[in-house]
Amino acid sequence: MKLRAQVADVARHLHQRGWCANHDGNVTARLEPGASRYLATPTATSKRLVGDRDVIELDAKGQVVGQGRVFGEINLHLAVYERRPDVGCVVHAHPPSATAISASRTNPIERPFIAEAVVSLGPSVPRIPYAQPGEPARAALAPWCELVDAVLLGNHGVMAWGADPEQALLRLELVEHLARIAIAATALGGPEPLPDAAVAPLLAARAKANLGRAADRAVEIAARLTPTSPAPVVACAPAPHSPVPTIGPGGGGRDLAAIVREEIVAALRKG
């Protein structure tokens, strides 16, 4: 399927799944690897009605090339593309369960509680505090673009990105699925996060499968998690050839960082 058709297909899928209402949601895709030209869904159009011909083309600054009007949240998409040359598609929607968490004081999907989700999404789905649309929202998102592959935009919705439209859509789908599970688990006392020792080998598997950069950046992610979070992942070895330094929590002796690092190295050797 051509990229234009894929963008339109993802847009209609967002509507079919009930993940956007009215004119909510938007999809963009990088026209070619490494290029700063994009395809995008048009503004003020229900995602139900987006066909191949409605998809517009944008330049590096998000200005329309040719016909059509771009949506106001394009700066959020560009924030991702500018920081992630590996990303080929960004999807934004308001799926009800994840959006409910985005509008709540606690984020039960911040720490992983299902193993498969760590491999697909990395060590965290952070909730970025609410920021006004425009430059404040872009500035709030920007520091996260290199750390994770999906975020909850505070009091707003979900944004996910990936190498292509399929991967970005699957990540958004998984965030909504996790949110539904977490909300169901809340009635039972809330989901119990995976132990740190279990997360480390999963991050190693993610790095090995080249599924994202988050495995490289677990330490930074941990540092940015809200202070109210109970014991986030505290350390992770970098993926092979990663320029990111490994930082431990400090203290003498064989600290947790060292243990996690050893586990990852062992997992990589095994594979």
Return residues touching Zn ion (CB under 5 A): 157
CB of 45 to Zn ion, least distance (A): 14
CB of 72 to Zn ion, least distance (A): 9
CB of 20 to Zn ion, least distance (A): 8
Toward Zn ion, which CB reaches closer, 88 or 157? 157
CB of 260 to Zn ion, least distance (A): 36
Toward Zn ion, which CB reaches closer, 42 or 157? 157
Residue located via tokens 């994770």:
148
CB of 61 to Zn ion, least distance (A): 20
What's the token pair of residue 71? 């949506």
- How far is residue 209's CA from residue 88's CA, in Å, rounded to a whole number? 17
Toward Zn ion, which CB reaches closer, 123 or 157? 157
Toward Zn ion, which CB reaches closer, 122 or 157? 157
CB of 99 to Zn ion, least distance (A): 9
Q: Report the residue number whose CB is nearest to Zn ion.
A: 157
CB of 130 to Zn ion, least distance (A): 12
Toward Zn ion, which CB reaches closer, 157 or 232? 157
Toward Zn ion, which CB reaches closer, 74 or 200? 74
Toward Zn ion, which CB reaches closer, 108 or 157? 157
- How far is residue 115's CA from residue 126's CA, in Å, rounded to a whole number? 17
Rounded to 10 deg, the angle between the 196-208 and 256-270 helix axes is: 40
Find the radius of gyration of the CA atoms of the chain: 19
Residue located via tokens 């491999």:
119
